[in-house]
Every structure is written in C-alpha cells, then in structure tokens.
A and B are shown apart, each in its own frame.
Chain A
C-alpha cells in the first residue's frame, strides 16, 4: 500500500472496488490509490493511526467515499472530516448507489464537494470513475498540504 496516495477510496464492496481500479488503471491512476474498506479504516488513514501510524501526514488530493459502509458510515466519515480543521479542506466526492434525496441533502449540507451516483451501466460507471480520477487528482489544484504529483 503506497504511503503517498492522491486518491483515497473508501469502498466495502470488492467488486465495485475492482471495477473502480480497472477504470482508473486506464489512466495510470491505479498506483495513486489507497484503499479503505470501511469508515473506520478511512478515518484511521486520515488521522495516521492504527496501521497507518507510520505514513506521512499529507492529505490525499481527493477522497472517493461510498455511503453505505460497515462500522462507520460514509456520512459519519464526511461529518468527521468536515468538522475537523485539519481535514475539512480535503475534497470529498461521494460515490454511491443511492439516488435518495435525503442522502444528497445530508451530504451537501455536510459540505461534500461532489455527489456522484454510481451509474448502473458499466460504461457510464467506468467513464464516471475515470473523469472523477482525472479531474480531482490531475486537473484540480488540491488544497495546500495535499499529496502532489
């Protein structure tokens, strides 16, 4: 697992994860990825605790966050990030299967930077992930203190 990662993916579903990584690999972005399998692990990474206690303190350039996660849910992770002075600048993109309006409202009111519904269509899904990866990890200028190219 790379210590210097521009993209932190928080995803519990191994199949979605594989499809996401396969999409990112088309743009050689797969190596820039660090993976957390639940909300707890994501927070451990961001706070450099547990198995991530040895990593450098730089923040990822973007966090792709699923909402339905074991232990700590995506919304709880989002709330924690946006209420912490050191983390609130990290761009967070919710990448979820949920079309539900209440999830969108809750995410935006917590300060999410983008909300993307995982397309059912595989091609659309691949395109969405690619575009997200390129935009947030390459085109977008990340906040100071993030991992740079």
Chain B
C-alpha cells in the first residue's frame, strides 16, 4: 500500500531513464572539467528524481551511487587546483547530496503515512457504516418482535375469554337440561381455555424478560431470599417446612429479575416437596472463584431423573404429570434466561424421590465483602 502514490507506467520508466542519463552526464561533466566548477552538486537533482519513483531504500542506493561517482571523478580529474580545495568541493557536494536524500525520503515517508492514515480513516468510516446498518437491522427485528408479542397479548386473549365466557353462560343457562357427561365437556372446555390463557401469559412474560433492559445494582441476596421465603411462607401455612438459609453474598444484578429467579426456585422447591413431612429446603452458596458466586436451592422433594437434566430448563418442558404438580413449565426457563442475561450459568442435580438441587452463578459485587459484613 506504500506504493499507491508512486507514478506508474510510461512516466515511471521515463523517470528512471532520465535519472540515469542525468547521473552519467553529471559524472562526465564533473570528470572532464577542472574542479573549479563543482558539477557534483548537481547530483542532488538525481537524488530528487530518484525520490519520485523509488522506495527510501532505493533513494539511499542512488545516493550512495552518487557519492561513489563524486569520489571517483575526484580521483579521475587532473589536479589543477590544490588538493584541499578539491577535497572540500567534493565533501560539500556529498553533504548536499546526503541532505537532499535525507529530506526527500523524509517527505516520502510523511506522504506515505498520510495515505495510510487516509486509508485507515476510510476503513473506520466503512466499519462505522456497517455497525450503523446492523444496529438498524436489530432495531427493526426488535420492533417486529414487539409488534408480534403485542398482537399475541391483545388478539389471542380475546377469543379465549369468549370461549370461557360463552361456555360458562351455556353452563348457567342449560345446566338443568345437560347430563353429567355434557357438563364435564363444558368444564373441560373452560379449563383448557384457562390453561391456554396461562400459557400465553407465561410466554409473554418470558419474552418480555428477554427484551427488558436490565438495571445493574448491588443486590443483597441474603435479604432478598429472606423476603421471598417470608412471602411464600405465607402461602404454605399448615405445611411442615424446615427452612435452612445460609450466608449469602451481595451480587451485581437487576433486583426485580433476581427476585424472580429466587421466587421461581423457592416456589418450585415448595411445590415439589408437597408430599414430604417435614419438607426440607436449604438455600446457600458456594464460592466458585473470586469473581463468581454460586447460589443453590436444595430440597428433599420429588426430584428428577438425571438423564432428563437437559430438558429441565426448556420452555414449557415438564418432567411430571400435570395432575401431580401444576404449572406451565416456564419457571426454570425464566430462571435460565435471567441468569444468562446476568452473565451466569445454571445447573441442576437430582434423583427421583431424593430431592433436587438447583444452582445459579452470578458475578460478585465489587464491594461484596464489606456489604455482607455490614448486613450480617
């Protein structure tokens, strides 16, 4: 790319022929004339011409050639003047040639750098344009997604309500004339429609998590877990649950989303230990490394078969029958999505009838240690 500014083709050849002819002419003139006339100084013209078509190395080559010719003619010329004058003349010429070479190569170097900088600038501009284009495409895709979920939330709900509404009106109006079988059919219609409503709600909430902007704040997990456990504890009165809550650190993340993670995991633990007396639910953390902390929620509930562990975090994936444990199967998918958005990972361990443990890792807050010390 350094040659982009060099003249090419016919003019290039012409330049170096002219340069060579000129060098020979100066040499001849310098050699056959007495030293009073310092022809050797004219070599600067040769060097200047060389700078037009040569790389810096070439220019210095030509310069050395010129030095050599100047010195050669010094020795070849009959000594008509004092040796000191001849020597001085030659030295002056050589100095002029050297300086010219130095300045002209410097100029060429600057010129090349300028060209390079201009090319770099062009590249940056091109990349910027590319980025702007990608951003516009992303924005368009996002808008489309938003329009899609808007239409799902608005248009899909209405017919569902009508199915339920008119089924129930039918039930009300015709209950006396319908036999048990028909009544059951209507109930099934209503239940299925409600279930579809739940699925739509969950799917929408799930897609909203993917699009929502996450806020970053220091979240005290210990406090958060205690709040969630107190909240869920309200709904589980009459059940025998032994809670164990270990020390939990302060993490960096979106408070509302992290709460959703804890709520999902804790309510799962509560749900799947329904048949245990007492149910044991433990929430604690293990320090994986300096920057990351891993929180776990462990229960002694129904557990799961490890061969299906990959399916656990899928959307609407369920490992139990709906008659056994209610729910749409969006909870763990939500957990995974939120944790991934925070730069963490999720995993699970379990065995059928021997409980399950769910882990999620989060980046630690930079002030984690002091904050924990203050709050505990």
Binding site for B on A (CB under 8 A): 13, 15-16, 19, 22, 67-68, 96-100, 118-123, 125-126
Contact = CB atoms under 8 A, between A and B. Distances in A.
Contacts of A13: 158
B164 A120 contact: yes
Given A122-B164, A122-B165, A15 B158 contact: yes
A16 B161 contact: yes
A68 B164 contact: no
Contact of B161 (A98, A99, A100, A118): A118
A19 B150 contact: no
B165 A15 contact: yes
A99 B162 contact: no
Tell me what chain B mostly uses at the interface: helix, strand, loop, or mixed: helix
A97 B158 contact: yes
A13 B165 CA distance: 14
B318 interface: no
A13 to B, nearest CB: 6
Given A97-B158, A99-B204, A125 B165 contact: yes
B250 to A, nearest CB: 29
A98 B164 contact: no
7 contacts: A16-B162, A96-B154, A97-B155, A97-B158, A100-B150, A118-B158, A126-B165
B61 interface: no
Nearest to B200: A120
Contacts of B183: none
Interface in B161-179: 161-162, 164-169
Interface of B: 150, 153-155, 157-162, 164-169, 190, 194, 197, 200-201, 204
Contact of B162 (A19, A67, A98, A119): A19
A13 B201 CA distance: 21
Contacts, number: 58
B153 A97 contact: yes
Given A22-B169, A99-B204, A100-B150, A118 B157 contact: yes
A119 B154 CA distance: 12
Given A122-B168, A123-B168, A16 B158 contact: yes
B122 to A, nearest CB: 41
Contact of A98 (B154, B168, B197, B200): B154
B103 to A, nearest CB: 67
Per CB-CB distance, the 3 closest pairs between chain A and chain B, nearest first, are A120-B197, A15-B162, A122-B164
A100 B61 CA distance: 76
Contacts of A119: 161
Contacts of B157: 97, 118, 120
Contacts of A97: 153-155, 157-158, 161
A24 to B, nearest CB: 14
Given A97-B154, A98-B150, A120-B157, A19 B165 contact: yes
Contacts of A67: 154
B150 A120 contact: no
A130 to B, nearest CB: 14
Contacts of B158: 13, 15-16, 97, 118
Contacts of A120: 157, 160-161, 164, 194, 197, 200-201
Of B168, B200, B201, which is in contact with the most chain A CB atoms at under 10 Å from its CB? B168
Nearest to A123: B168
Contact of A100 (B153, B160, B164, B169): B153
B165 A98 contact: no
Chain A CB within 10 Å, residue with most, of B161, B162, B164: B161
A39 to B, nearest CB: 16
A66 B150 CA distance: 15
A123 B150 CA distance: 24
Contacts of A118: 157-158, 161
A102 B168 CA distance: 33
Contacts of B155: 97
Contacts of B166: 15, 19
